[in-house]
A and B are shown apart, each in its own frame.
Chain A
Amino acid sequence: MTREAVRWIDAGHAGAFRSQAIYHGLAHARASDTPDTIVWVQPSEPYVCVGYHQQPEAEVNLAWCRRIGLPVIQRETGGGMVYIDSNQVFAQWVFAPERLPRRVDQRFGLFVRALAEALAPLGLEATLGPPNDLHIGGRKVSGTGAAAIGRAEVVTGNYLLDFDYEAMQQVLAAPHPAFAKAFAEALARWLTTLRRELGHPPAPEVLKRHYREACSRVLQRPVVAGTWTPEEEVAIAQMEARFAGQQARWQELAQKPQPAGVRAVKVQAGVWVATAPIEGADGEVRWLTLRTRDRRIDQAVWSGPPADMPPARLEALGRMLHLVEMDEAEVLEVAEAWWQLHDVSRSVLRPELLADAIARIRKAAPRAPFAAGRYLPKGEN
């Protein structure tokens, strides 16, 4: 294992584009003699950031972002759409590939360990929420992402000092209000912040010091303050320009109507909010929105035109589906039992339509490689 020093760059506060451009630029500019680098940066303004393989028009309410002048950035790392503002701080690792674990899960494990260790002096017990989240009491408190960029391996993550749940709900592309509401409720349940855990947000300077010390311990290497080279500065500026240039594309996409299909958003590993349209026998489209955990139905909500039955009967189906596995046969069995028990056999919401909708949701919300159920929020079961 190398004992070579890691360069620590404190980038202070940075605008939307620059806060993403720094690690991209450093990675693209990396040469064989470039030191491994950790960047600490705090965004100074809000923006939305989407993952490399995401379709921004499907994930983000681009029209709303455009209206309020919120930049949208598509990064080169993976993961999902996130709302970012000055209540978050970023740690960004730009390393030679051979100086990080080869396995992606182990690489994230190392990165998250440093994030977790920095919280211990604050009295917070944070753990890895497999495969790559940082959890406190089972709730996610940091998002991560990674990529091979140029000749570097990049791992990034943030601390949520505080979080604007309402803004996140606003920027989400939601096919109907019930989906946005379910998502907001899931966020409140499964996402936490350092303010929420401590009762106040930590001073960023204190967190920075703890994080830098934690990196040195975890990597077993000195972490020494430095800055970027003129060549790296050029690469960063190029990335800033590229991200700024993306905005014109989002303006075009904002005007395109989105097809009404299944929409699924991951809240944390194994926890999804997803919705699917169901065309009833009466030709009306209603929406089934599910919150799922570890492939089981946590909550089921209907929205759209009123069904041909009292709301209490639909609520009864929701209760019967609670904790049912998202398996087409199991769902069909439950739905048929509901038909018989509640005398709704002439309903437009036929069991097979329901089972089909859940099968479509299941496909769109793939299972987590690690069980989420082991990492329950405090007070949940």
Chain B
Amino acid sequence: MAYEKVNECYIVKDLYYAVEDNTWVRVNDDGTVTIGMTDVAQSLAGPILHAKAKKPGMHRKKGKPIATVESGKWVGPVKSPVSGEIVEINEELAKDARVLNKSPYYKGWIIKMKPDNLEADLADLVTGDAAVEAYRAKIEKDGVTCTHIEGTEEPA
């Protein structure tokens, strides 16, 4: 199966994860990467009302915010799991940020980035079964159960 569910949290196996920051990276064929927040992140945040991504053309270092999200009066950053230049942002987020709750791995992607040194950055991330195990440990440690009160798109 291409994904696993731990405490109702979806973990898609072909993505790379920065587990502590709850972000994911998808490697695209054109050399760019797509970045978003995880199912765990949207569950912890709750219904997201606003999302504002940094502008295309900006260079962001790994660990620096690429976007801010707001749910129920809480504002938090989405930290970049890789360094690079933002080449595209998901315009749909400005129209309805709840897509981050409904489809965190697909329609709710946040930015696309041209990475500086993808190989080095990916080495610090986890993927596949290692990602599932890392999340299983984190979810148990933090006592997280994912919720999908906005409905969810089941991973492919």
Contact = CB atoms under 8 A, between A and B. Distances in A.
Interface of A: 51-53, 76-79, 102-105, 107-108, 131-132, 144-148, 366, 369
A146 B149 contact: no
B73 A132 contact: yes
B92 interface: no
Interface stretch (B40-48, B82-90, B117-125): B40-48
**Majority-rule SS of A interface residues:** loop
A108 B47 CA distance: 14
Contact of A104 (B44, B68, B142, B149): B44
Contact of B144 (A76, A102, A105): A102
Interface of B: 43-47, 49-50, 52, 68, 70-77, 142-144, 149
B64 to A, nearest CB: 13
A78 B47 CA distance: 13
A348 to B, nearest CB: 31
Nearest to A98: B142
Contacts of B76: 147-148
A78 B70 CA distance: 6
Given A105-B46, A369-B149, A53 B74 contact: no
Contacts of A79: 73
Interchain residue pairs A-B with the least CB separation, the first 9: A79-B73, A53-B50, A146-B74, A78-B73, A148-B76, A147-B75, A78-B75, A78-B70, A104-B74
Contacts of B144: 102-103
Contacts of A369: 46-47, 72, 149
23 contacts: A51-B75, A52-B70, A53-B49, A53-B68, A77-B75, A78-B70, A78-B72, A78-B74, A102-B143, A102-B144, A103-B43, A103-B46, A104-B46, A105-B72, A107-B74, A108-B72, A131-B46, A132-B72, A146-B74, A146-B75, A148-B74, A369-B47, A369-B72
A104 B45 contact: yes
Given A52-B68, A102-B142, A104-B44, A146 B49 contact: no
B58 to A, nearest CB: 18
A82 to B, nearest CB: 11
A214 B142 CA distance: 25
A166 B18 CA distance: 49
A190 B144 CA distance: 34
A53 B73 contact: no
B46 A148 contact: no
Interface centre among A78, A102, A131 (most CB of B within 10 A): A78
Given A53-B52, A102-B142, A369-B149, A145 B73 contact: yes
Contacts of A146: 73-75
B17 to A, nearest CB: 17
Nearest to B150: A369
Contacts of B73: 51, 77-79, 108, 132, 144-146
A147 to B, nearest CB: 4
A112 B45 CA distance: 17
A182 to B, nearest CB: 22
Given A53-B70, A369-B72, A102 B49 contact: no
Nearest to A53: B50
Given A52-B68, A102-B142, A148 B45 contact: no
A156 to B, nearest CB: 9
Given A78-B75, A366-B49, A369-B149, A103 B44 contact: yes
A53 B75 contact: yes
A144 B143 CA distance: 25
Contacts of A76: 75
A105 B149 CA distance: 13
A107 B72 CA distance: 11
A366 B72 CA distance: 12
Contacts of B52: 53
A78 B69 CA distance: 9
A282 to B, nearest CB: 32
